Structure 1
Amino acid sequence: MQSSELQQNTPLIPTHIITGFLGTGKTTAINHLISQKPAHEKWAVIINEFGQIGVDQTAIPTQDDIHIKEIAGGCVCCALGPALTINLAMLIRRIQPDRIIIEPTGLGHPSGLIDIIQGESFCSVLSLHSVICLLDPRAMDDPRTISHETFIDQLNLADYIVLNKTDVASDTQLDQALQLAENMYPPKQAILKMTYGKVPIEVLNTQHIDEFSASFPLSHEAEQTGSLLVTPPLQPLMLTEPGKPIMKAGFSNDIYSCGWVFHRDDIFDYEALLTLINSISPVLRLKGVFRTSKDRVFFNNVSGELSITPIAWRRDSRMEILSQTKLDWAYIEEQLLRSLAGKSHDK
């Protein structure tokens, strides 16, 4: 696809990457940015999930001036690059957004994504603005994370580093994270300390600094050649029947994934579901939105730390698990079915 195919007689569309390792609060930060959006602007948000079932889209409220597109089943930074190109072109033509925000998977190396935005297909349409990397200071205690090539280059390529979740980090962890960010060269446009992803909209006003470079530029190419999906991404997601979930599992980049989608009429016993989710181990990430006997809730487990929040999503119930070891997916599905409380009409 040539850039002339998308040429518009309008200014270049500011395009942003919100990156960060697993569980740093990227979707929460995007929600906060959306809450500050000027009323006259129309935004497009592309969310990339590593697993087969898209869950993050459920956490962003639907509204007329926000257009959400989710790409699941791999990484748009490498293996799913063609899917990103196609979806970007469609959004530009159909939506004509004033701003685009892309949230790659936490396991994604941003080099490939930057190459796509600045490449021949989009250079006359898109302008790469601020690249924002969220960092949970508690990661400083995990040598596997801080030595991970993708983690390092997410920070290297960012214009802004946001130290998020500072309210639950220790002073030592915060000092170490701040030192890591401050010692990077070229210096970042800013290093921000935040809680709950409260990133100010002003960070979107600056263009990306091209002098930032990756320490491991071939990392995303290695991810692409080593990718193997056991099953294709689930499309479409709305063919479920009550009590008969759709399940999809995959394996890529040494990470196992499995996800389920349940019919919108399925209702889960809250306590039974909570007990089950707390029992699933070990997980890198578990995300799920469920219609329960109490309310509709979003479960978010990052390396054993579980948070539960209300959610407005009404279409179905769904869950995705990422793990470095293959779990007993059939047993987990059996326990999910056991936790079903019954059916009723939508609230």
Structure 2
Amino acid sequence: MTRVNVITGFLGSGKTTTLLHLLAHKPANENWAILVNEFGEVGIDGALLADRGATLKEIPGGCMCCVNGLPLQVGLNMLLKKNKPDRLIIEPTGLGHPKQLLDMLRAAVYQPWIQVDATLTLLDPRQLADARVVENENFRDQLTAADIIVANKSDRWSEEDRQRLQQWQQHNLGDRQLVESAWGKVDPALLCQSALADRAVPEAAHHHHTSRPKGLAALKLEGSARWRRALNEGQGYASCGWIFDGDTVFDTIPALEWARLAPVDRVKGVLRTPDGLVNINRQGDDFFMETRTTTPPDSRIELIHHQSVDWNVLQTTLLRIRLD
């Protein structure tokens, strides 16, 4: 039987970083699989999580609850049938709603095959000061669905952030466990905890629009194309992602500055540079980059913002920092 965890949380709460930490501490004798969903089309998390010791399946381009959960069911069934993992971790998009996903996992048809363990919801307490985030239905419902709440990025909290977290706990925590973490460094034993009694999580009420039909694969280049972009809109957010072929190399410093200064809420990317592979992860003013010696087959970058952006202006600058 496969034990399943859902790790959810709003945009920029640190889900992927937490997954990387958990994978680094995976028991050597266990076979793990990751099912990851992204709001954008190009599949950044798949590149970040690749070659980390677990089977990976991506569902890009929206949230898992869309289209009656069909992309999720197909991806889940493929992993269970082909890989038979000991543990499956599902990471929905930060703009996704948890109810339909959890209802499907608890359906009678899956009971002989999976055991649903604790759902972890990551929370950056600094977001409690942002009315636009606090009023977002998905943000609230992700927290309602949690068995364990991980208050993440504690190394960046102010005293006001901690006070807001304490006030939130008093009114919302109930019988749930809350743990603090920095850089997603949570105890892997949390995954083995049982799910609590089912709570009343409201139904998702949203519309999702994409630039192409949803599938089970990230965006790819076709023919002799050197690069391609894809747009997505939904949940009051817009995204634009680019994929570049394996011969494209970016000038390191200008690429980092482009990502740091882009007037958007969220930036994630995996870029080929003369210095090797550069992972870029930015949420608001928080900027993290990591250089690795491995070389990815291509370069990918995704931007997300809470309103429309002139993507052409950002694209023009991005294209200029490619090296010949």
Answer yes or no: same fold by TM over 0.5: yes
RMSD over equivalenced CA pairs, Å: 2.0
Say if 1:335 and 1:185 are closer, same or farther in 2 by CA, change over 3 A. Answer: closer
Partner Cα separation in structure 1 for residue 60 and residue 126 of structure 2: 27
Letter in 1 for 2:132: R
Residue 13 of structure 1 is matched in structure 2 by 2
Say if 1:313 and 1:203 are closer, same or farther in 2 by CA, change over 3 A. Answer: farther
Q: How many residues are treated as equivalent by the alignment?
A: 322
1:77-226 matched pairs, under 5 angstroms: 77-79=65-67, 81-184=69-172, 186-188=174-176, 190-214=177-201, 217-218=202-203, 220=204, 222-223=205-206, 226=207
1:1-347 matched pairs, under 5 angstroms: 12-63=1-52, 65-79=53-67, 81-184=69-172, 186-188=174-176, 190-214=177-201, 217-218=202-203, 220=204, 222-223=205-206, 226-233=207-214, 235=217, 237-239=219-221, 244-281=226-263, 283-311=264-292, 312=294, 314-342=296-324
Partner Cα separation in structure 2 for residue 90 and residue 332 of structure 1: 38
Partner Cα separation in structure 1 for residue 265 and residue 211 of structure 2: 19
Distance apart, 1:237 and its partner CA? 4.0
Say if 1:181 and 1:79 are closer, same or farther in 2 by CA, change over 3 A. Answer: farther
Say if 1:85 and 1:313 are closer, same or farther in 2 by CA, change over 3 A. Answer: farther
Distance apart, 1:210 and its partner CA? 2.4
Distance apart, 1:298 and its partner CA? 1.2
Distance apart, 1:145 and its partner CA? 1.2
Contact 2:31 2:87 in 1 (8 A): yes
Contact 2:121 2:142 in 1 (8 A): yes
Partner Cα separation in structure 1 for residue 287 and residue 82 of structure 2: 38
Identity %: 34
Q: Identify unmatched segments of 5+ residues in structure 2.
A: none
Contact 1:286 1:301 in 2 (8 A): yes
Partner Cα separation in structure 1 for residue 160 and residue 113 of structure 2: 44
Partner Cα separation in structure 1 for residue 261 and residue 13 of structure 2: 22
Partner Cα separation in structure 1 for residue 315 and residue 226 of structure 2: 10
State the TM-score, normalizing by the size of structure 2: 0.93
Letter in 1 for 2:184: G
- The worse-fitting range, judged by mean Cα deviation, of 329-338 and 18-27 is 329-338
Q: Identify unmatched segments of 5+ residues in structure 1.
A: 1-11, 343-347
Query: 1:201-238 CA distances to partner (integer Å, 9 max, x unpaired)?
Result: 11111221124332xx12x1x22xx2221333585644
State the TM-score, normalizing by the size of structure 1: 0.87
Partner Cα separation in structure 2 for residue 237 and residue 253 of structure 1: 21
Query: 1:87-145 CA distances to partner (integer Å, 9 max, x unpaired)?
Result: 10011010000000000001111111101101133122111101001111111211111
Say if 1:56 and 1:23 are closer, same or farther in 2 by CA, change over 3 A. Answer: same
